A and B are shown apart, each in its own frame.
Chain A
Amino acid sequence: MAHTADADFKTRLQNWIPKLVLSPSIAMMLVFVYGFILFSVYLSFTDSRLLPSYGWVGLENYSKLWRLSHWEVSLKNMGIFAGLYIVICTSIGLGLAIFLDQKIRGEGLLRPIYLYPMALSFIVTGTAWKWFLDPGIGLENVMHTWGWESFEFNWIKDRNFAIYTVVLAAVWQTSGFVMAMFLAGLRGIDNEILKAAQMDGASNWNLYRRIIIPQLRPAFLSAFVILSHLAIKTFDLVIALTGGGPGRATELPATFMYSYTFTRNQMGIGAASATIMLMTIAAIMIPYLYSELREKR
Chain B
Amino acid sequence: MSVASQDTAIRTGRVTRTLIYVVLILFALFYMLPLYVMVVNSVKPLSEITGGGMMNLPREFTLEPWFKAWSSAQIGVEPTGLSPYFWNSIKMVVPAVAISTVLGALNGYVLTKWRFKYDTIIFGLMLFACFIPFQIVLIPMARMLGLMGLAGTTWGLALVHVVYGIGFTTLYFRNYYAVFPTELIRAAQIDGAGFFQIFWRILLPSSGPIAVVSIIWQFTNIWNDFLFGASFAGADSQPMTVALNNLVQASHGVKEYNVHFAGAILAAMPTLLVYIVAGRYFVRGLMAGSVKG
Task: Using CB atoms, name the residue of chain A closest to B25.
Answer: A110
Would B31 and A188 count as touching, CB distance under 8 A? Answer: no
Would B24 and A25 count as touching, CB distance under 8 A? Answer: no
- Of B7, B31, B124, chain A has the most CB atoms within 10 Å of the CB of B31
Cβ contacts A246-272/B at 8 Å (1 or 0 each): 000000001001100110000100110
Q: Which bracket fits the contact residues of B?
A: 35 or more
Would A39 and B140 count as touching, CB distance under 8 A? Answer: yes
Would B53 and A184 count as touching, CB distance under 8 A? Answer: no
A interface secondary structure, majority: helix
| B202 part of interface (Cβ distance < 8 Å) | no
Query: How many chain-A residues does the 8 Å CB contact rule pick out?
Result: 106
Cβ contacts A86-125/B at 8 Å (1 or 0 each): 0000001001100111111000101111111111110111
Instruction: Say which residue of B12, B103, B220 sits within 8 Å of A102 (CB atoms).
Output: B12
Instruction: Say which residue of B23, B110, B120 sits within 8 Å of A21 (CB atoms).
Output: B110
Tell me the complex Cα distance, A110–B23, Å.
Answer: 12
Tell me the complex Cα distance, A179–B46, Å.
Answer: 37
Would A14 and B163 count as touching, CB distance under 8 A? Answer: no
Tell me the complex Cα distance, A296–B195, Å.
Answer: 23
- Which residues of B have CB within 8 Å of A129? 34
Q: Tell me the minimal C-beta distance from B7 to chain A in angstroms.
A: 5
Tell me the complex Cα distance, A182–B292, Å.
Answer: 11
- Which residues of A have CB within 8 Å of B235? none
- Which residues of A have CB within 8 Å of B224? 120-121, 123
Q: A25-B107, A207-B10, A218-B292 are in contact. Are A104 and B24 (CB under 8 A)?
A: yes
- Which residues of B have CB within 8 Å of A229? 130-131
Instruction: Say which residue of A19, A116, A141, A233 sits within 8 Å of B134 (CB atoms).
Output: A233
Q: Tell me the minimal C-beta distance from A294 to chain B in angstroms.
A: 8
Cβ contacts A163-197/B at 8 Å (1 or 0 each): 00000000010001000111111111101001100
| A57 part of interface (Cβ distance < 8 Å) | no
Q: A40-B136, A52-B139, A180-B286 are in contact. Are A218 and B128 (CB under 8 A)?
A: no
Task: Using CB atoms, name the residue of chain A closest to B131.
Answer: A281
Would you list which residues of chain A between 135 and 161 have a CB under 8 Å from chain B? 137-138, 141-142, 145
Tell me the complex Cα distance, A174–B31, Å.
Answer: 10
- Which residues of B have CB within 8 Å of A99? 20, 23-24
| A63 part of interface (Cβ distance < 8 Å) | no
Instruction: Say which residue of B21, B164, B268 sits within 8 Å of A121 (CB atoms).
Output: B268
| A66 part of interface (Cβ distance < 8 Å) | no
- Which residues of B have CB within 8 Å of A232? 131, 133
| A55 part of interface (Cβ distance < 8 Å) | no
Would B140 and A35 count as touching, CB distance under 8 A? Answer: yes
Q: Tell me the minimal C-beta distance from A102 to chain B in angstroms.
A: 6
Would B279 and A111 count as touching, CB distance under 8 A? Answer: yes
Would B20 and A102 count as touching, CB distance under 8 A? Answer: yes
Instruction: Say which residue of A118, A142, A186, A281 sits within 8 Å of B220 (CB atoms).
Output: A118
Q: A18-B114, A29-B126, A233-B133 are in contact. Are A103 and B8 (CB under 8 A)?
A: yes
Instruction: Say which residue of B9, B20, B125, B271 sits within 8 Å of A104 (CB atoms).
Output: B20
Task: Using CB atoms, name the residue of chain A closest to B39.
Answer: A128
Instruction: Say which residue of B5, B28, B37 sits within 8 Å of A131 (CB atoms).
Output: B37
Q: Tell me the minimal C-beta distance from A291 to chain B in angstroms.
A: 11
- Which residues of A have CB within 8 Å of B35? 116, 128
Q: A25-B126, A31-B144 are in contact. Are A120 and B268 (CB under 8 A)?
A: yes
Would B283 and A236 count as touching, CB distance under 8 A? Answer: no
- Which residues of B have CB within 8 Å of A112? 275-276, 279
- Can you name 19 A-B pairs with beta carbons within 8 Å? A18-B110, A33-B129, A36-B140, A113-B32, A117-B31, A118-B275, A119-B275, A123-B245, A124-B244, A138-B54, A142-B54, A184-B287, A187-B3, A188-B292, A194-B8, A219-B291, A235-B135, A257-B133, A274-B133
Give the interface of A toward B (CB within 8 A): 14, 17-19, 21-22, 24-26, 28-29, 31-37, 39-40, 51-52, 92, 95-96, 99-104, 108, 110-121, 123-125, 127-129, 131-132, 137-138, 141-142, 145, 172, 176, 180-189, 191, 194-195, 198, 204, 207, 216, 218-219, 222, 225, 229, 232-233, 235-236, 254, 257-258, 261-262, 267, 270-271, 274, 277-278, 281-282, 285-286, 289-290, 293-294, 296-297
